[in-house]
Structure 1
Amino acid sequence: MTHNSYSHPFSRNDQSLIARWFWTVDRGLLGAALTLVALGVALSFASSPAAILADESITDPFHYSWRMLVWATMGGALMLGASLLSPRGVRRIAVLALGCAIVVMAALPFIGDTVKGAARWVNLGPFSLQPSEFAKPGLIVFAAWMFAEAQKGEGVPGVSIAFGLWALTVGLLLIQPDIGQTLLITTTFMAVFFMAGVPLKWVAALAAAGAGGVVSLYFMFSHMRDRLSRFLSPETTDTHQIDRASEAIRAGGLVGRGIGEGVMKRHVPDLHTDFIYSVGAEEFGLVLSLIMIGLYAFIVIRGMRKAMKLNDSFEQTAAAGLFMLIGLQACINIAVNLNLIPTKGMTLPFISYGGSSMMAMGLTMGFALALTRRRPGAYELGSNVAPRRRLLP
């Protein structure tokens, strides 16, 4: 049988940038991420008519849907653009994103909009920017870079620099305050630190310090105590939001009520952002829920497997950290919707409504795709690959 030269849009002999990208990027991971983006747009059309009820100034029932379509297009374009980068390009853009996010976060007490007691956004007219969303992938890539430099043993204080930037980022998050993002970014940062070669005794010490930090946050922030109290003693307080979300998931059954037939979404605040999972579960049932969870699992498992096969320590830890970031955030959001953990106010990656979240997730996935592309020597042991060293004694 002769080979059909028209079975692919690009020939393997084509050396253009796009052709090289097509043959080296993991199209399975890319397809899974874009499928989640498409699901997010579809669910926005299901949730928008109910979401506008909370704002009488909005008359178009699909106001949030059209905006979500714009954010999804921008997020998808950012994902594709970032996936074209070289590892050096990923480092540069990540450092730029982290630096800009830190500057804006530092200015939030003076220029930020306060919503529900938290100053996390900057109002840019028709768009509100949440800088912490971009700090997450920026910090993970930067930390992996610093840990890799420390492994070379050339006198670069990479561990100290990475922990210093982490402490600064966490400090700015706590000022807002944003406990959910603090816990997410800290967990992912510590995982990158472990994957970079830290001894187990340091893992135990950091775990103990982390537990102490969580206890300290409990006493420092009253809203954290309130959320935990509502979770542990739901009969003593108002749990309307999570109750309606749980009812929506149960009402969906196996195949759901049908497109546009969901009723619980009319009573769930933030249904198009934090609780979009419950909207999808009610209208499309367990089938869609398992499809979404399966897509996230595919991205994390396949991505981590590819990352662990990379030879370069920076590329390995950065890619693994980025895939872990996506997976952890998805787990947190779904667990909140299922009433397994207290509410966190965290979006579902690629699905929830929100410009900052969609574009930051596009950047995160784009970085991960760029780092795991097949390049000469990336997955083959070469003479130029330095032996890995422990970061700390």
Structure 2
Amino acid sequence: MSDAAETESSNRDVRRRVSKQLGRGNTTRAGMWFWEVDRVLLLLAMLLIAIGLVAVAAASPATARRYSDATHIMPAMHYFWRQLMWVCLSVPVLIGVSMLPITLARRLALIGAAFFLLLLALVPILGSEANGARRWIDLGVSDLQPSEFLKPFFIVATAWMLSFRAKDPELPVLFITGGVTAVVAVLLMLQPDFGQTIVFGTVWLILLTISGISALAIGGLIGTAIAGVVAAYLFYGTARTRIDNFLFPTKEAALADRYQVDMAHQTLSAGGLTGAGPGSGQVKFKLPEAHTDYIFSVIGEEFGLISCAVIVLLYAAIVIRVFMKMLDEEDAFRLLAASGLAAQFGVQAMINMAVNTGIAPSKGMTLPFISYGGSSMIALSIGYGLLLAFTRRNPYLKRSPYTGRWSKG
């Protein structure tokens, strides 16, 4: 046999072995995960993470210059290399969590919710202060933001409690979950973190709506939420300052919150439709927190408004795909958990982009998978991993068009 024939035969053997390993007959955990996981959702997450690395690379020189001084000059790509490190840690976490069985994923979320709720309560005592807020616990090598990790665990725990309504509608789960949400809101407002409070409250309302509570109850809760915002304006100084600076800007306010919002809008629109080009943006050097809260504006300046529109579509695609996938889900817990996690992902992205476009006042909230941040990246990876775990489907089961039940095809 000639060398060419031997090489071709060897290649066929390799392809056959790989095909067998990745085939639907592979019953190992990794093999089953490959066929069960929603690969479109996984691909969308990887796209956002890749876009995030490019965006942080674009924003890093501006942030490095802002935080450099006479005694310490930061390398221009300092934040990019750190973000690359966080991505290398976060992606395996995302994949690992997505491989968990449903019962183990639920157990992890319940334990995580209790643990990070305790840490959130300790933030006013142990937390370190930055930019006038006490939201982080200093671990030495990095800062931990308990509220970021609490979000996905809180959603799954709330979904678990609300799922009991499917068995007994008389259970007082609305009041129990409402009480827990109120405790979280109070702890967040002590930091202060009004933006995260809105996220927790909004996702809770979405979960209640999906769980099937009456329209009258939903109307009452929306009215209560509006009353809560009014009360926050009247009695909560941070909320009043942010709202006043946004709606009734004065010269003094323009030097603080309004300056950030205005600069974000200028940076976003500076690149036009197609952008100034990678590394060519100049307005970003005047923008505070270009690598975190206002990275969407940096993308607009360097890569254009078309790129911003693509990012919006990617977030929308994730939320829509999850909700469409859950339309025929019979398990109340999986329905609520997956929908709640997708809603949190979409709400957080929407708030961040609203701030960058000048529609909403500054909130100090990251853009999921794109903004720089260790706590944010790992917490989002855990949440997205849970989302992938709850949306997994067994490829060997098919739903009957007559009974609606799943069975072997």
TM-score (norm 1): 0.92
Q: SS where residue 114 of structure 1 aligns?
A: strand
- Between Structure 1 and Structure 2, how many residues are aligned? 381
Q: Which moved more, 1:81-90 or 1:27-36?
A: 81-90
Using the TM superposition, give the Cα deviation of residue 215 of structure 1 relative to its aligned residue in structure 2, in angstroms: 0.7
The residue number in structure 2 matching 1:248 is: 267
Contact 1:257 1:284 (8 Å CA) reproduced? yes
**Equivalent pairs: percent with the same residue?**
39
Q: Does 1:121 align with 2:139?
A: no
194, 207, 222: which one aligns with 1:192: 207
Q: Quick check: 1:21 aligned with 2:44? A: no
| Distance (whole Å) between structure 1 residues aligned to residue 237 and residue 133 of structure 2 | 13
Q: CA deviation at 1:284?
A: 0.4
Partner of 2:379: 360
Deviation at 1:159, TM superposition (A): 3.5
Q: Secondary structure at the match of 2:137?
A: strand
The answer to which of 67-76 and 347-356 deviates more is: 67-76
What secondary structure does 1:341 align onto? coil
Q: Cα deviations across residues 193-215 of structure 1 (Å, max 9, x unaligned)? A: 11011011100110111111111
Q: Is the 8 A contact 1:312 1:378 kept in 2?
A: no
Residues 269 and 305 in structure 2, CA contact (< 8 A), matched pair in contact too: no
116-125 or 368-377, which moves further after superposition?
368-377
- Per-residue CA deviations over 1:338-362 (Å, capped at 9, x if unaligned) read 0011111110000001111111111
> What whole-Å deviation, never above 9, does each CA across 1:270-312 have from its counterpart, x for those lacking one?
1100000000110000221112111101101111111222110
Equivalent position SS for 1:121: strand
> Which residue is equivalent to 2:300?
281
1:297-334 CA distance string (max 9 Å, x none)? 11011111112221101100110111011001101000
Distance 1:8 1:15 in 2: 11
| One-letter identity of the residue aligned with 2:360 | I
Matches within 5 A, 1:308-387: 308-375=327-394, 381-382=404-405
Question: How far is 1:9 from its partner?
Answer: 6.5
Offset of residue 117 of structure 1: 2.1
Aligned residue for 1:234, secondary structure, equals: coil
**1:310 and 1:378 in contact (8 A); partners too:** no
Alignment partner, residue 320 of structure 2: 301
Given the superposition, is the C-alpha separation of residues 8 and 229 from structure 1 closer, same or farther in structure 2, using an over 3 Å criterion?
Answer: farther
Instruction: Sort the Cα spacing of 1:7 and 1:234 in 2 relative to 1 into closer, same or farther, 3 A.
Output: farther
RMSD over aligned Cα, in angstroms? 2.0
Cross-structure match for 1:50: 62
1:64 aligned onto 2:76: no
- 1:151 CA displacement: 2.5
The one-character-per-residue Cα deviations of 1:363-383 (angstroms, maximum 9, x if unpaired) are 111111110111376966339
Q: Which residue of the partner structure matches residue 231 of structure 2?
A: 216
Instruction: Quote the Cα distance in structure 2 between the aligned partners of 1:80 and 1:383.
Output: 26
Shift of 1:58: 4.5
Q: Is the 8 A contact 1:137 1:322 kept in 2?
A: yes
In 2, Cα distance between equivalents of 1:220 and 1:90: 39
Structure having the higher Rg: 2
Q: In 2, are the aligned partners of 1:300 and 1:324 still within 8 Å (CA)?
A: yes
2:217 aligns to what?
202
CA distance in 1, matches of 2:111, 2:301: 41
Residue 377 and residue 270 in structure 1: after superposition, are their counterparts in 2 closer, same or farther (change >3 A)? same
Structure 1 residues 189 and 127, CA gap change in structure 2 (3 angstroms): same
Letter in 2 for 1:321: G
Q: Which runs of 5+ in 1 are unaligned?
A: 385-393
9 and 50 in structure 1: CA distance in 2 versus 1, 3 angstrom threshold: farther
Distance in 1 (CA, whole Å) between partners of 2:210 and 2:355 is 28
Quote the offset at 1:252 in angstroms: 0.9
Are the aligned partners of 2:278 and 2:302 in contact in 1 as well (CA < 8 Å)? yes
Distance apart, 1:168 and its partner CA: 2.0
- Residues in 1 aligned to 2:169 and 2:203: alpha-carbon distance in whole angstroms: 26
Which residue of the partner structure matches residue 90 of structure 1? Answer: 105
Q: 1:243 to 1:156 in 2, by over 3 A?
A: closer
1:8 Cα offset (Å):
9.0
CA separation in 2, counterparts of 1:15 and 1:151? 33
Residue 152 of structure 1, CA deviation: 1.0
On the 8 A contact 2:399/2:406 being kept in 1, the answer is: no
User: What are the ranges of 5 or more consecutive residues in structure 2 without an aligned counterpart?
Assistant: 1-14
AA aligned to 1:73 is: C
Question: What displacement does 1:220 show?
Answer: 2.1
Structure 1 residue aligned with 2:154, among 139, 143, 147? 139
Match for residue 272 of structure 1 among 269, 281, 291: 291
Structure 1 residues 28-73: Cα deviation after superposition (integer angstroms, max 9, x where no partner): 1110011101111111111111101222234222111111111122
